[in-house]
Structure 1
Amino acid sequence: MAFQRIFLLVITLAFSSLIYGHDIAINIKVTNEQQALIPYSTVTLVSKTDSAIRTGTITDSTATAHLNVPDIGFYQLQISSVGYNNFSQIIEVTDSNFNFTFKLKAGSAALNEVVIQASKPLMQQEDDKTIINTESLEAASTNVYEVIEKTPGLFVDQDGNIYISSTTPAKVYINGKELKMSTADIAGMLKSLPPNAIDKIEILRTPSAKYDASNSGGIVNVVLKKGVKIGITGSATAGYQQGKYNNKFAGFNVSNNNGETSSYLNLNYSNSNNYQVLNTNRDISIDTIIAQKAYSTTPSDAVYLGYGINKDFTDNMNLSYDGRVSYNNYNNYTDNTNSFEAIANDIVLGSSKALSTTNDKTFLVNQDISSTLKLDTAGSEWTNSFTYSYNNNRERLDYNTYSALPYGGNGISNTSHHYFELQSDLTLKLPGKITIETGIKTTYLPFNNKADYVLTNNGDTINDNSRTTTYKYAENINAAYFQASKTFGAFILKSGLRMENTNMSGHQTVPFDTSFSVHRTDFFPYVYLSRKIMTIAKYEIRAYLVYRRTIARPSYDQLNPFPKYVDQFLSEVGNPNLKPQFSNNYEFNISVEQRPLFAVGYNDTKDMFTNVYYQGDSLHALAYKTYDNVGSNKEFYIRGLGVIPPGGRYFFLFGAQYNHNLYQGLYQGQPLNFKGDSWLFFTYHQLKIDKNSMLTMNGFLRLKGTLQFYELSSFGSLSFNINRKFFNQKLTVTLSLNDAFFTNNNEFSISQPTVNAYGYRETDSRRFGINLRYNFGIRKKDEDPDLFKFPNNN
């Protein structure tokens, strides 16, 4: 409570200090290398601290551009003129430094198009989010999922959960829209996307009030490419990776842009296979363990189709339509050997063998319609969007157990859900460097699951009542938010409040009738404060302080009571009694020239729910994995980055993060008091061999430590790739080696009041690959180009 009072005090003091600033007039003179004046040049300025602050003009007959900027600070200057090379430089505007002169070098005699080229940093900080430019990561990947795995600072566990800073998994968004799907379905969809479909990845550790409050683990927003170049352009890609098994993919994308209308099409097919070794020893009594050795292969085929059209009806009004369709045919073949062993002398008391085959077919359709209305030249706009998605999943399981009393079974589980979302957002850029953001959102998600299973014993077939279920779930969330930001002097303050009304209901009719419902309204404050600290060698250093209250609601698959078969001694089952968890998130961080440098954070979570491993009937050695509210979690983390900025021949990034967690509550009804630590190191290196060749290396190391209630041994991965461009840089060939030293495997253990187990896991992670990408295009020749056009002030 003391922390929250301090933040409220900061808001009060800051907003009471809001005053209207006065614009600073600056003059920019443009000459050539012989000091001759260059009139009618295009000059633009973009603030380095707020990209929405943008202005531009044309130099007059004296070759001078007269512009007004709202405040002192660093600005990105861009100058272009017919017959001269484009010019780009960062300048600092101060109270005594507002007159500038720049020289342009002679270039081509005519200007067909203005192209500003600059080296993109791998990571950069933009307000309260980190931008990852993924181009170098795409070259050594066969799908978007692998790109995320290679992204520095992100950790993906074996179940497909993505972690940013905390032990709570992040939510995955596509183009700013949350994927309302299970973790397995999200992973499957990301694996169907070709790697070059990504424009960038946005990481929001503490999202603002504009975003849903159910993001206590942060947001990973995958922004997909759309048609952006004039004319018809595109690329064809293909790739192959070989480990013990192989992955391969092929696809193409094409876009067309005639200025007012742009459209795109993206088609990709992938075929992959992987294996997993999972050995587990679990205590079932004081003198006996059950030892399980499972070997699984997971061949799959996936097809992805993305398409869209964007239309500018006027200079201020835009309408866009985007669609995505994916189909994934996934198989799992598991050979599981089980033995009961005496702890004292390792004598085998009994054994069995189980073979299972799972076929999972998932079909996903997503449709987005959005409109943008620009209200002025300062950046004010009104956006509206409607999203519909449909997800259908059909899973067939066949299993046989060979023991003294052999038996088998099979069944089909059908799952489908629809998702509707309607959202409206208004952004107002007001005088005095004030920005107002407000909006409303409503979502509706109906979910249906029906599972029919049978047991076979001695040739007789009977219904398996323990696995046959019928379950329906519906979720409606209504939200509204308001937030305002103000730049005054060296400070940027943003504060907001979000209201969310939650309505959830679940009804199981088979094997017995039970239901639940939740109706509640909650409020979630948000505060963001940024301040320029100092400037070193023209590099601006800024500090950020962020706070937000968040909620984590259990998803439909976590609430579904259907017991999913894993093996004869283990099942996965949802928990319809889960309660939502609430967190207060605090973070302080420092960036240098928009690049994250250092951060320290604290998360305080109540009613935490997480994946737990509960002991069942010890007489039959049964256990089950489920979700449960275990109590409270207090988490402290610290993160640091060191970097050589891009632009030279060699670039590197090295980072580390430390997490400390304290859990207090109940674990399967027994007192829980558990604490753990973890260290994560990550690095990325890039060496430009020549203008057509590049060598990169990326990797991570996670030292022995805890992940939720599990203790993991040290593990990591180091990957290399080299690419070479041919045929006037149209063809790119990339050779890659992933997990070169085969270190991305680990031992694990869990020791809690009712369960004690340990084991080992490995996957087909070491792979050699080759990727090919060919760019093509038919560029339209501009007729009567407007040489004096400059970007609008938005």
Structure 2
Amino acid sequence: MMPKLLLSVLFTIYSVCNLYAQLSSINGHISNAAGKSPGGTTILLYRFTDSLLIKTAIADDKGDYEINQVSAGKYFIRCSFSGYTKISTSFFSVGENEIVTVPALVLLIENKRLQDVTVTDNYKKNIIKVTAGKTVFNVENSINATGSTAFELLQKSPGVLTDKDDNISLRGKNGVRVYIDGRAVPMDAAELAGYLKSIPSSDIESIEMISNPSAKYDASGNAGIINIKLKKNNTIGFNGSASAGLNVGINPKTNASLGLNYRNSKVNIFGSYNNNWSNNDNTFNLYRLQNDTIYDQKNLQNITGWSHNIKAGADFFASKKSTLGIIFTGNFSNNTVFSQSRTPSISAKTGITDRILYATNTIPGVTENVNFNVNYRYADTTGHEINIDVDHGFYNSRKSSYQPNQYYTPVPETLLYEKNYRNNTPINITINTQKIDYAMPYKKGQLSAGVKFSFVKTNNVFNLYNVINNQDYIDLNQSNTFFYNENVLAGYINYTTPLNKKLNLSAGVRVENTSSKSLLIRADGMRQTDEQTNRNYTDLFPSAGLSFISNEKNSFSFNYSRRIDRPNYNDLNPFESRVDELTSIKGNAFLKSQYSNSFQLTHTYKSRFTTTIGYSQVKDFSTFIIDTTEKTRVFITKKNLASQNIASINFSLPFKITKWWDAYTSVDLYNSKYNANFGNAKIVNINVTTFGLYARQTFKMGNGFSGEISGYYTSPSVSAGTFKTRFYLNMDIGIQKKLIHDKASVKFSYTDLFHTLQWNAESNYGGTHILAHSHWESQQFRMNFTYRFGSNKIKEDRGHATGNEDEKKRTSSNGLLDAN
């Protein structure tokens, strides 16, 4: 009943507003040098200010084409046809209710032998492209992406930082939302990192970093959105690609992928599979001064196992206007984490070691992340479009842990006593979403609106066992079941229009109602004050943008958005789980959502060089705090700070030094302030200014060879709330050779050339002084081979993304340490 009502409302809006649509049209003619017109030439209309693709058309047999329902503004046209070089027009202006005729275009034959001609994209994308509010890293054109994973590419993307626990921040701001083809994944920081590490670069088209999303997007994510776009196949007939790679660091690692696609005028059937075998060693050291005692922990960790990713689906073209699609995606992993640590307890006054804790932890884990999507799209030639998505997904995790803790005397080391534990932590999460989006031309611009419903159910069990004489005895005081249900109802409206020939406006508002219930059931039957919470609140999230074209060389844009970050589902679990005898993790049932207001001003010079100034203020900023308990122990929990304030400036500088040498440089400068007072000397007052430099050089060396050098530097910054980090420094080199008439390529790269990519940090909070250090297998030699086969005849891709864009991200804690 509800979807029918919504469709009726949307069609009514369309019928009324269509009376006022007064848009322009563009027409033109294309031919070859002989004056003949090859029918079927692809015509692409781009907006001049940011090179955004606006509309497409196909020239008829006479070479004539027409593009209707175009808003006033500045544009250019690019044309392509098999065997000819691509050609573009100069920019031209379109007024209100105007018919514009573009000068005739002439296609030139490519400088190739006829038998060597295949349909490929000769207009190569820049590796890094910056527009107002968005930075795009075109992975498929980067050599140093060779053998990399999605997570490693994020680490090398402009403005992106990760800490030792794989939490991700963007230009100094935490709370960034990571999506795969517009969908978030239901994992905590460690599991999300594992998933991203299972996606090879050969499957990735680009990484989009969107700092100020419009009202169309979910309001979640105060730092914006990072969207990883996987490659889509848009060729007619049967085709595919296969790749295999080997990475060698301390241990060998492998990856492989296979993608198949068949497309004709009625249907597009596609499927892909990739796997990743990981064997990674990590080191983590924690020096802690607490209550006149020093705890000097040295920890070694190994993560070994397989990850498998599957995607399959079909698009059925019912007509030129209607498409029905189904998509299945699945991620399955089976990994074992093994860690061992040595922690001496030392008197800070005398320097005498009191005792030594030896702890090991073995955590086998299996996860399943599956989503089914049914979608429908209707789009006519007048600019009216409807997209409907229905998603059903689930996330299941099965982890257990065996954790011996043995206490020894100092030299000669003699066993004093031991405490051994085992736990079992099954997690089940179900996510259902329905979404409808509608867009239409209205007066001079475009009006879009939509609604979304999401329903999430979680069931998180934590059972702790004391192991005595190799027998497991459940600890009822330390075992629990946590239930959390959440419903979010959202709607938005957004309007984009030119105010005059130089000024464009985009404005919208999103409303979201959140209703949630949580329940903690202790195994011992005891009650606690935070065992049950109920919440219901409604928020408005406005967004707006202005773009101004001063002249052909200079353009400006201003963006504003208000956003929210709801707590991850597991962060709300108020029970305490142990990492080892001295460290535990505790949720916070009263953790509040954090709200941010972000402003951004961008100047673009010659459509290439950009300068961006930004400011954001976050209310009730939530972050992890390492607090003390029972004099000797610490626990990690999430708390709301009073505020987070970040001011930033960014310069994006692409250069073409010679015909064979391209360079790109990005410079970031941002100031971060964190303030909170929890009483009892537990004060957070951090003010850090951070400088970041990202650089990439690419070289065309002839005979199918190309090379690349890339790297970044980040000065001291803030991580995990109370930690001040030291600098980051990294450099990669790579070379590529194309083979078999460009159908295959082999790539070699060497990462972290100088072995400087390490994490070092310091924290002073609540009377505890902490020094932390972590490093991993960042220095690797990588090899990758890719072969593409089948048809190369290109047809315009539908480019559909499914509907659950936020819910699956928030299923678990982004903890500093894994409690399992």
Same fold (TM over 0.5): yes
Which deviates more from structure 2 when the two are superposed, residues 417-426 or residues 647-656? 647-656
In structure 1, distance between residues paired with 2:64 and 2:486: 60
Among 194, 204, 213, which residue is 1:207 paired with? 213
Aligned CA-pair RMSD: 3.1
CA deviation after TM superposition for structure 1 residue 384, in Å: 0.3
After superposition, the Cα gap between the structure-2 partners of 1:564 and 1:595, relative to the gap in structure 1 and judged at 3 Å, is farther
In structure 2, distance between residues paired with 1:485 and 1:72: 12
Among 438, 444, 463, which residue is 2:449 paired with? 438
Q: Which residue number corresponds to residue 44 of structure 1?
A: 43
Q: Which residue number corresponds to residue 105 of structure 1?
A: 108
Which deviates more from structure 2 when the two are superposed, residues 498-507 or residues 653-662? 653-662
Q: Which amino acid aligns with 1:120?
A: K
CA deviation after TM superposition for structure 1 residue 209, in Å: 0.6
Q: Which residue number corresponds to residue 10 of structure 1?
A: none
Where does the alignment leave 5 or more consecutive residues of structure 2 unmatched? 1-19, 408-415, 799-820
After superposition, the Cα gap between the structure-2 partners of 1:379 and 1:200, relative to the gap in structure 1 and judged at 3 Å, is farther
Could you list the per-position Cα deviations for residues 421-473 of structure 1 after superposition, in whole angstroms to 9, with x for gaps in the alignment?
100000112342x1101000010110001122111356675433453111111
Equivalence map 1:307-706=2 (5 Å): 307-344=312-349, 346-374=351-379, 376-403=380-407, 404-432=416-444, 434-457=445-468, 462-487=473-498, 488-511=500-523, 512-513=526-527, 514-536=531-553, 541-592=554-605, 595=608, 597-618=610-631, 621-644=632-655, 648-667=659-678, 670-706=682-718
Which deviates more from structure 2 when the two are superposed, residues 511-520 or residues 604-613? 511-520
After superposition, the Cα gap between the structure-2 partners of 1:95 and 1:135, relative to the gap in structure 1 and judged at 3 Å, is closer
Aligned residues of 2:285 and 2:774 also touching (Cα < 8 A): yes
In structure 2, distance between residues paired with 1:102 and 1:274: 55
In structure 1, distance between residues paired with 2:30 and 2:433: 51
Aligned residues of 1:30 and 1:38 also touching (Cα < 8 A): yes
Which deviates more from structure 2 when the two are superposed, residues 709-718 or residues 308-317? 709-718
Q: Which residue number corresponds to residue 91 of structure 1?
A: 90
Aligned residues of 1:192 and 1:303 also touching (Cα < 8 A): yes
Equivalence map 1:99-138=2 (5 Å): 100=103, 102-105=105-108, 117-125=122-130, 128-137=133-142
Q: Which residue number corresponds to residue 756 of structure 1?
A: 769
In structure 2, distance between residues paired with 1:323 and 1:60: 39
Q: Which residue number corresponds to residue 275 of structure 2?
A: 269
In structure 1, distance between residues paired with 2:308 and 2:518: 33
Q: Which residue number corresponds to residue 5 of structure 1?
A: none
Q: Which residue number corresponds to residue 9 of structure 1?
A: none
Aligned residues of 1:527 and 1:546 also touching (Cα < 8 A): yes
After superposition, the Cα gap between the structure-2 partners of 1:71 and 1:190, relative to the gap in structure 1 and judged at 3 Å, is same
Q: Which amino acid aligns with 1:91?
A: S
After superposition, the Cα gap between the structure-2 partners of 1:510 and 1:668, relative to the gap in structure 1 and judged at 3 Å, is farther
Seq. identity, %: 22
CA deviation after TM superposition for structure 1 residue 545, in Å: 0.6
Aligned residues of 1:528 and 1:544 also touching (Cα < 8 A): yes
CA deviation after TM superposition for structure 1 residue 279, in Å: 1.3
Q: Which residue number corresponds to residue 15 of structure 1?
A: none
Q: Which residue number corresponds to residue 12 of structure 1?
A: none
Could you list the per-position Cα deviations for residues 299-354 of structure 1 after superposition, in whole angstroms to 9, with x for gaps in the alignment?
12111211111111100001111111221112111111111123345332221211
Matched residue pairs, number? 752
Aligned residues of 1:131 and 1:202 also touching (Cα < 8 A): yes
CA deviation after TM superposition for structure 1 residue 126, in Å: 5.4
In structure 1, distance between residues paired with 2:648 and 2:363: 40
CA deviation after TM superposition for structure 1 residue 660, in Å: 1.1
In structure 2, distance between residues paired with 1:453 and 1:58: 69
In structure 1, distance between residues paired with 2:147 and 2:748: 10
Q: Which residue number corresponds to residue 75 of structure 1?
A: 76
| SS of 1:229 mapped into structure 2 | coil
Among 259, 279, 303, which residue is 2:308 paired with? 303
CA deviation after TM superposition for structure 1 residue 626, in Å: 1.1
Q: Which residue number corresponds to residue 229 of structure 1?
A: 235
Q: Which residue number corresponds to residue 259 of structure 1?
A: 265
Among 706, 712, 733, which residue is 2:746 paired with? 733
CA deviation after TM superposition for structure 1 residue 167, in Å: 2.1
CA deviation after TM superposition for structure 1 residue 148, in Å: 2.4
CA deviation after TM superposition for structure 1 residue 103, in Å: 4.6
In structure 2, distance between residues paired with 1:230 and 1:171: 34
| SS of 2:202 mapped into structure 1 | helix
Aligned residues of 1:422 and 1:441 also touching (Cα < 8 A): yes
CA deviation after TM superposition for structure 1 residue 90, in Å: 3.8
In structure 2, distance between residues paired with 1:446 and 1:358: 25
After superposition, the Cα gap between the structure-2 partners of 1:408 and 1:490, relative to the gap in structure 1 and judged at 3 Å, is same
After superposition, the Cα gap between the structure-2 partners of 1:64 and 1:398, relative to the gap in structure 1 and judged at 3 Å, is closer
Could you list the per-position Cα deviations for residues 244-278 of structure 1 after superposition, in whole angstroms to 9, with x for gaps in the alignment?
12211122111111232111111122111111211
Aligned residues of 2:130 and 2:610 also touching (Cα < 8 A): no
Aligned residues of 1:74 and 1:90 also touching (Cα < 8 A): no
In structure 2, distance between residues paired with 1:322 and 1:24: 36
Could you list the per-position Cα deviations for residues 122-180 of structure 1 after superposition, in whole angstroms to 9, with x for gaps in the alignment?
23345643333210347513432223233233223332222223422311122222334
In structure 1, distance between residues paired with 2:132 and 2:693: 24
In structure 1, distance between residues paired with 2:513 and 2:617: 22
CA deviation after TM superposition for structure 1 residue 478, in Å: 0.5
Q: Which amino acid aligns with 2:595?
A: F
In structure 1, distance between residues paired with 2:714 and 2:358: 34
Q: Which amino acid aligns with 2:327?
A: D
In structure 2, distance between residues paired with 1:608 and 1:616: 23
After superposition, the Cα gap between the structure-2 partners of 1:470 and 1:312, relative to the gap in structure 1 and judged at 3 Å, is same
In structure 2, distance between residues paired with 1:339 and 1:299: 28
After superposition, the Cα gap between the structure-2 partners of 1:155 and 1:664, relative to the gap in structure 1 and judged at 3 Å, is closer
| SS of 1:382 mapped into structure 2 | strand
Aligned residues of 2:625 and 2:637 also touching (Cα < 8 A): yes
Aligned residues of 2:282 and 2:774 also touching (Cα < 8 A): yes
Aligned residues of 2:186 and 2:369 also touching (Cα < 8 A): no
Equivalence map 1:140-179=2 (5 Å): 140-179=146-185
Where does the alignment leave 5 or more consecutive residues of structure 1 unmatched? 1-18
After superposition, the Cα gap between the structure-2 partners of 1:535 and 1:299, relative to the gap in structure 1 and judged at 3 Å, is same
In structure 1, distance between residues paired with 2:312 and 2:471: 51
| SS of 2:591 mapped into structure 1 | coil
In structure 2, distance between residues paired with 1:594 and 1:561: 51
Aligned residues of 1:713 and 1:747 also touching (Cα < 8 A): yes
In structure 1, distance between residues paired with 2:572 and 2:376: 35
Aligned residues of 2:128 and 2:664 also touching (Cα < 8 A): no
After superposition, the Cα gap between the structure-2 partners of 1:607 and 1:445, relative to the gap in structure 1 and judged at 3 Å, is same
Aligned residues of 2:163 and 2:759 also touching (Cα < 8 A): no
After superposition, the Cα gap between the structure-2 partners of 1:775 and 1:23, relative to the gap in structure 1 and judged at 3 Å, is closer
After superposition, the Cα gap between the structure-2 partners of 1:731 and 1:400, relative to the gap in structure 1 and judged at 3 Å, is same
Q: Which residue number corresponds to residue 769 of structure 1?
A: 782
